[in-house]
Each structure stands twice: as structure tokens, then as C-alpha cells.
Amino acid sequence: MSNILANNINPRSGTSIDVGGTLQVGSATTIHTTGIDLGSGNIQLHNINSTGIITATSASFSENVSIGGTLTYEDVTSIDSVGIITAQSGLKVSSGITTISGTLAVNGNNYPSTGQLSHRNIIINGAMRVAQRGTSVSAVTATGIYTCDRMPWTLNNCGEWTNTQETNGPNGFGYSYKAMCGFGDASPAADDYALLQYLVESTDIQHLSYGTSDAVPMTISFYVKSNKTGAASFAIMQMQNSGKTFAKTYTINAADTWEYKTITIPADTSGNINNDNGNGLLLEWWCNSGSNFTGGTHPSTWFAQNDINRNASNIGIGQATDDYFQITGIQLEVGEVATPFEHKPYTEEVTRCQRYFQKFYYGVHSYPFGFGYVYGTTDVAATVPLTTTMRTTTPTVTANNLVVRGFSQDGNNTSATINSVDTAQTQLGNTMLQMDLTTTTIAAAARGAACVIANNASSFSSNLTVDAEL
């Protein structure tokens, strides 16, 4: 066999060069019938058009790579992506710091990428599990009535209501708050209103950094149900900043159906909130009102207090008898997205509620819960241990059907009824309540004797309440 020596071989268009064996190109590259052995050489191509598999031990691209189908990673050291990465199985971070600048979504639930994961809910008793005052109150025509702790029903001449802690709710919730209209008010007077409120203590919202360039947005989320459908108003007010307000419409789409709502509240860089135990924020869920609170708009930013904007979208719950408003799962948190409701242990939730209200009573007659001494014919100084430190050192204390007992120096178990609590002489020292009591007449011989405070009946109505609500 002889050799063909040529400087160039140029096949005509549409023809090919058929090499039965191997083709040696230079000193390092060999073209086989089954592949190309590069050796130490390189292949420089403008395009690769392949319908099969291209396998390479490594690849380097100086410009863009476009893949029309699915790119599968089997063993990857690093992925640097500005888009979305979808993994078939778990992601493992063995070392270093993983930074997420946006929202972390897990199984369809959003979680914050900044701030705390635990105790992110600013609301106390958002699941409506605690009701120290009782689970039901009927014929409500006055304001400031509580069933579920921290949730006052606020009313001014706008129908008659029954407020209850319900033992039902959407999936995941065993309790809810319900306001049922006993008789309606179809045409409320200008200054009439009916709404649910919640007050946030100032010291609990310092991390919002309001009044600074670092102020952060918040998101309120809740489950709501009503027989009425349509647009309803939610409002939030800064109590220490001249009533500066943000209000927003949410829609109840279907009657008698639990619905989940979220509202994003913008940051306020101009409104300062004091670091104290006073009123910080007031949250409002409006049901019905007169013209002094309707007819306005819901601006997209915080606005100077203007009552007509607070209930700009008046849904009119309470305009007819048997109208009702039901709510649970209230969560207020930092960030622009709502995260799953934070269910805290019941004992923790009760303790947080007791910072604002505590009620002492026993189901057995004459059980003591405080102690003191007699210093006058109708005067007793007494102390009651509290379960936690309360918001203020000067709470409102009420004695209902209570007695002081065991003060007789002759050993007889005599008693006197507590008539009143001297507010001026009532103080909280850490977790001890100190009171000056006025009683029925005590024999002069008993002065200086010790006594205890006890219930005078085996019922819920014989109690001592300590109120430090905002």
C-alpha cells in the first residue's frame, strides 16, 4: 500500500471522507471509528449539535450555556445561581454559612430569612385558648368586655352582643373568639361602633425600630369567619405617635367559612414608639360603625389619625340580628410575608396573659390564697402572691364575695367580709400584691392578729381580680 501526501484535502459539498482505520492528526490526537482521543490537544468548535449523550470529565465555558431540557446534577461541589434551583432530593450544607436574602419556603410555608424563628408572634393569646374571665358574656352593650384574654370587644351604642370563647376553629385550632349580635343596628349613629381590638405593650415592639431608618415592615395574619361577606377593615394605630394609622381592606368571600387573611404593614421611619409599659400599637377589626368612622379611604402608607379612614370598608356585621364575627390564629410578625402560626405551650401563653390580668378563686369554700393582719376595727393589711410580674405597680384590684378569716386571738375561726379595696394603698412589689382592705366590723380585741384571705363560696363568683390591662 502506498501513501497519499497532500497539504490539504477538501471534500466537495455533500461528500465525505471515509477512513476505515484511524486518522492521526498531529502528534497527539487520534481519530478512531469509536471516538476521538485528544491526548494533550484541544478541540475548538463553534457549535456542538448532539442528539445523544456528551460525557466529559470537566468543562469550562467562558460565555453562556443554554440547555433546552433538564440539567441533572449528580455530584456537584458548588452551584452559583441567580435563578431558581430545584433539587430532586435534599440539600446538604456541610460547612460555612448559608445566606438567604429573600423568603425561605418549606413545603409551601414561608419562613423569615432574617430575625427570630421562635417567639416571632407579637400577639399574646392569638389562638384564643386563654379565657380567665370566663368563656361567655351575654347582653353586652358596653365597651371593654373580655372573654378571651387580651381581646376586648369595643362597643358604643351599636347593638347588643354575646361574646364567647368557642371550642372550634379552622384545622389546627381548637378555640376561637366569636361575637354574636343579639339585636342589630341597621343605622348606627355617627359615633357608634362595634369592633374587636388588641393593644400591644410598647416594650414588646422595640425591635420594629420605628422612627429610625432601620424600621421594618410587619405582616398580620388571621383566620376569620362570618355570615356576612364583602369588604371589611383592619386598622393599626400608633398610640404614642398622635394616633398615626395604617388601614387596609380585606375581603370575606364566602359566608360561614373559615378564610385565611394576610396584610402587610409598611415600616414607619418617622414615628417613634417609647420603650415603656404603655400603649404601643392598637389593632382593630371593624364590624360596624357610624359615619364618623366610614366614608374615607385606606391609603397605602401610614397616615395622620383620621377616623373616617379606620373603617373605610364597613362590612356591616351587626346591622342585623344573628350577624356574627369569628376569629382565631392572629399573628403579627416582622417581615413582608406571613409564616405559619406559632403555637406556644399553653402554660407559657397563660403566664403571658397574667402579666395583664390575674384571677384568684377556688372551687372549695374557705380556701386561703393570701395572708395579712388586723390593724383596725374595719381595716386589714394583706398580701397575695402573684404568678408573674404584672405590667404596672398600680393595678385595679377587685374583691368579689371574699372574707378575712382566722383573726380572733382566742383561737376561734371567725371572719369578716371584705367590703372594698383601698386603691391608693394597693401596690405591686415584683410578684406580691399588697392591699389595704376595708371589712365588716372586727372586735377591738382582735387588732394585731393574723388572718388569711379566703373565698366565701364554692363558686367562680367568689374571687379576687388584679387588672393591669393596657
- Which of 298, 321, 354 terminates a domain? The answer is 354
Q: How many CB atoms lie within 10 A of CB 180?
A: 20
Instruction: Tell me: do 202 and 350 sit in the same domain.
Output: yes
What per-residue confidence (pLDDT) applies to 441?
Answer: 93
User: Is 309 found in the same domain as 385?
Assistant: no
- Has residue 50 been placed in a domain? no
Compute the distance between CA of residue 268 and CA of residue 242 in angstroms, rounded to an integer.
Answer: 14
Of 296, 329, 354, the residue at which a domain comes to its end is 354
Burial-class residue 81 by CB neighbours within 10 Å (0-12, 13-18, 19+). Answer: exposed
The model's pLDDT over 272-323, given as tens digits with 9 standing for 90+, comes to 899 999 999 999 999 999 999 998 999 999 999 999 999 999 999 999 999 9
User: Residue 20: is it exposed, middle or buried by C-beta count within 10 angstroms (0-12/13-18/19+)?
Assistant: exposed
Handedness of CA 6, 7, 13, 18 (dihedral sign): positive
Give the pLDDT band of residue 390 (cuts 50, 70, 90): very high
What b/e string do you get for 358-386 counting C-beta neighbours within 10 Å, with b at 16 or more? bbbbbeeebebbbebbbeeeebbbbebeb
Residue pLDDT, tens place only, 127-186: 999 999 999 999 999 888 999 999 999 999 999 999 999 999 999 999 999 999 999 999
Looking at the structure, tell me whether residues 341 and 463 fall in a common domain: no
Last residue of a domain, one of 354, 382, 406: 354
Domain identity same for 324 and 387: no
91: in domain:
no
Q: Are 339 and 363 in the same domain?
A: no
Place of cell 355617627: 190
What is the CATH classification number for the domain harbouring 259? 2.60.120.260
Q: Are residues 168 and 275 in the same domain?
A: yes
Tell me whether residue 234 is in a domain. Answer: yes
What range defines the domain where residue 190 resides? 136-354
CA–CA separation, 368 and 455 (whole Å): 7
| Residue 410 half-sphere exposure toward CB, CA atoms < 13 A | 6
Q: In the chain, what percentage of residues exceed pLDDT 90? A: 63
Let me know whether 307 and 191 are in one domain: yes
Do 433 and 327 sit in the same domain of this protein?
no
Total structural domains within the chain: 2
Is the residue at 193 inside a domain? yes
The answer to the question of residue 118 being in a domain is no
Residues 329 and 371 in one domain: no
Q: Are residues 249 and 334 in the same domain?
A: yes
Whether the CB-CB separation of 352 and 346 falls below 8 Å is answered with: no
**Shared domain check, 255 and 388:** no
Instruction: Check whether 411 has a pLDDT greater than 70.
Output: no
198 plus 168 within the same structural domain: yes
Average pLDDT over residues 186-204: 97
